[in-house]
Amino acid sequence: MKVLILFAHPAFHKSNVNKVMVDGLSATDSVTFHDLYQAYPDFDIDIEREQELLSQHDCVIFHYPFFWYSNPALLKEWQDLVLTHGWAFGSKGNMLKGKLFFTAITAGGPKASYTNDSFNGYTIQQLIAPLLQSAMLCKMITLPPFIVYGTHAIELPEVMKQKRIYSELLRQLAEDEFEVEAALEYEDLNDYITHKMK
Amino acid sequence: MEGDFFYQAFIYLGAAVVAVPLAKKLGLGSVLGYLIAGVLIGPFVLGFVGEEGQDIMHFAEFGVVMMLFLVGLELQPSLLWKLRKSILGLGGMQVGITAIIISAVALMFTDLAWQTALAVGLTLALSSTAIVIQTLNEKGLMKTEGGQNAFSVLLFQDIAVIPILAFFPMLAVFELQHIDSGHHEELWLNSLPIIWRTLVMLGGIASIIFGGKYLIGPAFRLIAQTRLRELFTVAALLLVIGITLLMTQMGLSPALGTFLAGVVLAQSEYRHQLETDIEPFKGLLLGLFFIAVGASIDFKLIGSSPATIAMLVFGLILIKLIVLFVIGKVFGMRMDNNMLFSFGLAQGGEFAFVLVSFGLQNGVMDAATADPLIAAVAISMALTPLLMMVNEKFIQPNFGTKEEDDREADVVDVQNNIIIAGFGRYGSMIGRFLQANGQQATYLDIDPNNVDLLRKLGFKVFYGDASRHDLLHAAGAEDAKLLIVTVDVPEKAIEIVKTAKEHFPHLKIISRARSWSNYSDLIDAGITNIYREYLESSLRMAADALACSGFRAYQVERAVKKFKRHDERLLRELSSQKHEDGSFLRGGKRNIEELERMMLEDMENDAKDKDLGWDVGSVKEEYAKFFKAHFDTDTPSNFSKRYKGDE
């Protein structure tokens, strides 16, 4: 399975966790790491190229830092322009049909702060609903998110641990070892991989 | 001799400078001003000029020739074709009927021979092209229906002069006189049989049309390529004078010849440059012509028989007026247009002077007939601006119906909202971009190669200096919305901006600036959208340099934008300070000082981080502690109260 990571980080030069997370990602054949802010600093997205990329892959990952409970602006622009009617959705828009979709998120707060009765008021699964529903509309198979929590206070060992999980996730996807049905049972893909690794 | 010339020039020019602005101020129009100036300096008032006024008039008639050339330039051949009905119909009827009625009246009230009466009729049927067109232009009425029809009639008269001149010798009743006027010597052509003469004439006209279409364009291109502006003016004058000579040699009206040349050149890209070059000469000569007409009015004659002259003038104007009005009605002209048409053409013309002296030479009339005729024609010409004013002020408001403004739409050609001054490397980029987005622009350029290229591609392009308001006017600045100034020469850009601001205040102007000082001058000229030509590409290059040294593309993008804003602000600041200390940005040393100041400001500017929104430093500082205190366990926290901002 070929995996496309759409990475969106407007201030990557200030990032700590994501620098580690994406390091070496573009090294494998079956994983394409696509750095959107690097490719389109002027927001002038090449729609044809993006659609071409999408059709060449079987799994699409939105990888971004969780800013204001949402994704960075360029990723929204990407959705608006690339997911066109008749191509991505609608009765004749079947180009994404059956492909896997999930988000890989780095969030500042710890997992416990993302509950309905806690500091952030909602779970991340709830907060990414627009993305999941968009993927549904494009007839994609939506998976639980991959989340690195607590990046505001994270230590390097924890980052390295998450990096190993992310790498394993990508490897399983690439080598077709990933079990969709099983993964759907979990809240997030971190849990699924952790269980499989045990 | 030379002193004499300068003395004369001084008198004429001085009279014009004094009288014309006064007349304009009084709302009388420039033509009347010139005429009054002529009367004042003439032999009967101040006596500055004497009989040589006649010679000056013959010389100044060349102004009429130039005027018709300009009129021709304004007329596309297709428009001329559209006017054919009114030229032949209106013009033919006017000349024919007026001539017959005046001849009949002359036969009834005088004891002239019928031949002389007919000659008088034909002579007086013609109107004054110079006065009518000049006045109509000045009032902006040339493109109205009345103006167009008046023009058609005048055009027919210009053509009709030729057969009339040929016809005159057959009307001789007196002994042939040999007045040595020097202006109407026997032409070699007259010795040829009539068929040959006609063929030569047709050949002459054909050569003007052919030459205008195929030879003049390339010739002007070559001349324009020398980039000597005055050479172009010289060539334009040479063209007009050459045609005049050619036509005179063939016994044709020079005015008609230049008019034809003008029409042929109306589609040429050099049209506007020709216009701007010939215009001042025409104005000068025409002014001279009007002064000469004024100076030649023979007050002694008028004084000796005032009643006769008054009757003649009154009768002449009345008959012409009525004939014109009736014809106008027959041709379905609306009231107000017909009024303008009738009052405009109700005078004798400069051709009368030619015809009368020709008639004298050929024994068609004697001096007793000719002198009062000349006086009456001159007075009727002088009265024309007054008559038109009377019509405008008193008759039209009461009897005419006001013309709607939207009637002339078909006369004006396609109008673009955008005018681009300069189509070099810089302007071409703008033009191409606009074109690619379906925006048509009108181009003005001084480089003949650019003009050629644009023309070949079917763009609307004019050759000429965009800082001249008449060229801007011709390019449609009146109705355009945006003027883009991209010319190479900074001083030129400022000139263009100033001209446009003065004459077309509604135009939005955006301009290219070549340097800091140019930029600052443009700000002073009141322009806010200014584009320094090197700014974008140098910053783009700097940005790529930054990217090469490892900066993220988006970071670079934002840095560039930030720097550009900062730079712009700084330049505006410096520019406004210039006025306080009186000197700034001029000379190399100054530039270095300003650069130093700018670089210091740059460093300070850099310290102000714009990306604070993405900077998690302070967020971490605050929230990390908080999260640690409440969530730092492996088991989910039972923390249930929302964060209130205080721990």
SS (H, E, C) B391-423: HHHHHHHHHCCCCCHHHHCCCCCCCCCEEEECC
Do B640 and A117 count as a contact with CB atoms less than 8 A apart?
Answer: yes
Tell me which amino acid residue B367 is.
Answer: A
Contacts of residue B632 in chain A, CB cutoff 8 Å? 110
Nearest to A152 among B553, B615, B624 (CB): B624
- What is the CA B43 to chain-centroid distance, rounded? 35
Residue B295: C-alpha distances to residues B47, B54, B64, B299 (Å): 9, 8, 18, 10
User: Looking at the partner chain, which of B556, B637, B643 has a beta carbon nearest the beta carbon of A112?
Assistant: B637
**Fold for domain B2-397?**
Na+/H+ antiporter like fold (1.20.1530)
Summary mean pLDDT of chain A: 93
Q: Measure B621 CA to nearest chain A CA, in Å.
A: 8
For the question of an ipTM over 0.85, the answer is no
pLDDT for B524 beyond 80: yes
Confidence of residue B50 (pLDDT cuts 50, 70, 90): low
Q: Which residue has the higher pLDDT, A159 or B463?
A: A159
* Bigger pLDDT: B180 vs B396: B396
Bigger pLDDT: A79 vs B566:
A79
Task: Test B557 with A39 for CB contact under 8 angstroms.
Answer: no
Residue A32 pairs with which residues in a beta bridge?
A4
The candidate with the shortest Cα–Cα distance to A141, out of A61, A80, A64, is A61
B560 CA: distance to closest CA in chain A (Å): 11
Question: To the nearest 10°, the Cα dihedral for B378, B382, B384, B387?
Answer: -130
**CB A25 within 8 Å of CB A174:** no
Q: A153, B619: Cβ pair inside 8 Å?
A: no
Q: Does residue B644 sit at the A interface (CB-CB below 8 Å)? A: no
Give the Å distances, CA to CA, from B10 to B5, B20, B49, B466.
8, 15, 11, 33
B520 or B614: which leads in pLDDT: B520
The alpha carbon of residue B529 is apart from the nearest alpha carbon of chain A, in Å, by 22
Please tell me the CATH code under which domain B418-613 is placed: 3.40.50.720
Residue B339 pLDDT > 50:
yes
Q: How far is B538 from chain A (nearest CA, A)?
A: 17
CA atoms within 13 A on the CB side of B371: 12
Q: How far is CA B316 from CA B121, B373, B641, in A?
A: 10, 10, 107
Beta bridge partners of B445: B463
**What is the rounded average pLDDT of the residues B554-582?**
79
Residue B631 with chain A: CB contacts under 8 Å: 109-113, 150
Are the C-beta atoms of residues B443 and B460 closer than 8 Å to each other?
A: yes
Q: Which chain A residues are Cβ-neighbours of B637 within 8 angstroms?
A: 112, 118
Question: Which is it for the CA torsion B611, B614, B620, B623, positive or negative?
Answer: positive
A155 or B579, higher pLDDT: A155
Contact B627 A113 (CB under 8 A): yes
Q: B247: Cβ–Cβ under 8 A, 6 or more apart, which residues?
A: B204, B253, B254, B256, B257, B258
B472 half-sphere exposure, CB direction, 13 A CA radius: 28
**B174 — pLDDT class (breaks 50, 70, 90):** confident
Q: State both tokens at B133.
A: 């067109």
Please report which confidence band the pLDDT of residue B473 belongs to, taking 50, 70 and 90 as the band edges. confident
Please give the average per-residue pLDDT across B205-233, as a whole number.
83
If you write DSSP's letter for every residue of B211-228 in order, what string do you get?
IIIIIHHHHHHHHHHTT-
B402 falls in which pLDDT band (50, 70, 90)?
very low
Three-class secondary structure assignment of A4-46: EEEECCCCHHHCCHHHHHHCCHHHCCCEEEEEHHHHCCCCCCC
| pLDDT tens profile A131-142 | 999 999 999 999
Contact between chains at B614 and A153 (C-beta distance less than 8 A): no
A152 contacts chain B (CB < 8 A): yes
Residues of chain B within CATH 1.20.1530.20 domain(s) are: 2-397
Least confident segment among A166-175, B107-116, B392-401, B538-547: B392-401
CB contact at 8 A, A142 and A101 = yes
d(CA B278, CA B276): 6
Whether residue B646 has pLDDT greater than 80: no
Residue B459 pLDDT > 90: no
Q: Which of B554, B616, B637, B646 would best serve as a mutation to test chain A binding (most A beta carbons within 10 A)?
A: B554
Stretch among A119-128, B4-13, B533-542 having the lowest mean pLDDT: B4-13
Per the CB < 8 A criterion, the answer to whether B133 and B31 are in contact is: no
- The rounded radius of gyration (Å) of the Cα atoms in chain B is 35
pLDDT at B410: 29
C-beta separation of B498 from B527 below 8 A:
no
How far lies A5's CA from each of A24, A44, A173, B22, in Å? Answer: 13, 19, 12, 82
B536: distance to nearest CA of chain A, Å?
A: 15
Averaged pLDDT of chain B: 79
pLDDT in tens, B306-332: 888 888 899 999 999 999 999 988 888
pLDDT at residue B529 tops 50: yes
Reading the block at residue B439, the tokens are: 């925006």
CA–CA separation, A113 and B137 (whole Å) = 83
List strand residue ranges (DSSP E) for B455-611, in order. Answer: 460-463, 482-485, 508-513, 529-532
Q: Residue B630 is encoded by which pair of tokens? A: 């409440």
**Within a 13 Å sphere around the CA of A198, how many CA atoms are in the beta-carbon half?**
5
pLDDT category, A105, cuts 50, 70, 90? very high
What is the model's pLDDT at position B185? Answer: 47
Q: What is the pLDDT of residues B589-645, one digit of tens each?
A: 556 676 777 777 777 766 666 666 777 777 777 887 777 777 765 444 443 444 444
% of chain B at pLDDT higher than 70: 86
Return the higher-pLDDT residue of A160 and B205. A160
B135-149, B195-209, B408-422, range with the lowest pLDDT: B408-422
Whole-angstrom distance, CA of residue B43 vs CA of residue B144: 39
Tokens for A41? 């600093």
Residues of A in contact with B645 (CB under 8 A): none
Better pLDDT: B363 or B320:
B320
Task: Tell which residue, A11, A34, A37, has the closest CA to residue A22.
Answer: A34
**What is the rounded CA–CA span in Å between residue B363 and residue B174?**
4
Closest residue in B to A155 (Cα–Cα): B624
Where do the domains of chain A lie, and which CATH numbers do they carry?
A: 3-197 (3.40.50.360)
User: Given this model, what pLDDT does residue A67 score?
Assistant: 92
Give the other-Cβ count within 10 Å of B610's Cβ.
12
Cα–Cα distance measured from residue A58 to residue A4, given in angstroms and rounded to the nearest whole number: 8
**Dihedrals φ, ψ of A60, to 5°?**
-115, 125
The minimum CA-CA distance between A153 and chain B, rounded to whole Å, is: 5
Are B627 and A110 in contact (CB < 8 Å)? yes
Domain(s) of CATH 3.40.50.720: residues in chain B: 418-613
Model pLDDT for residues B240-292, shown as the tens digit of each residue: 888 888 888 877 777 778 888 888 888 787 888 888 888 888 888 888 888 88
Q: Among the listed ranges A165-174, A175-184, B142-151, which one has the minimum average pLDDT value? A: B142-151
Whether residue A163 contacts residue A135, with contact meaning beta carbons closer than 8 Å, is answered with: no
Rounded CA separation B421/B484 (Å): 6
pLDDT at B142: 75
Note the pLDDT tens digit of each residue in A10-49. Answer: 989 888 899 999 988 876 789 999 999 999 999 999 999 9
pTM: 0.50
Nearest CA of chain A to the CA of B555: how many Å?
Answer: 7
Q: What average pLDDT score do residues B479-493 get?
A: 89
B620: contact with A, CB 8 A cutoff: yes
pLDDT at A191: 94
Give CA–CA dist B9/B291, Å, rounded. Answer: 12
Among A113, A149, A194, most B C-beta atoms within 10 A, so best to mutate, is A113
SS3 B22: helix
Rounded CA separation B405/B428 (Å): 36
A161 touches chain B (CB under 8 A): no
A81: nearest Cα among A55, A47, A43, A130: A47
Side-chain-side CA neighbours of B496 within 13 Å: the count stands at 30
pLDDT over 60 at B414, yes or no: no
Identify the band that residue B182 occupies on the pLDDT scale cut at 50, 70 and 90. very low
Confidence of residue A176 (pLDDT cuts 50, 70, 90): very high
User: Cα–Cα distance between B116 and B174 in angstroms, integer?
Assistant: 9
Look at the block and give the residue holding tokens 């394993």: A168
User: Across the interface, do B627 and A10 touch by the CB < 8 Å criterion?
Assistant: no
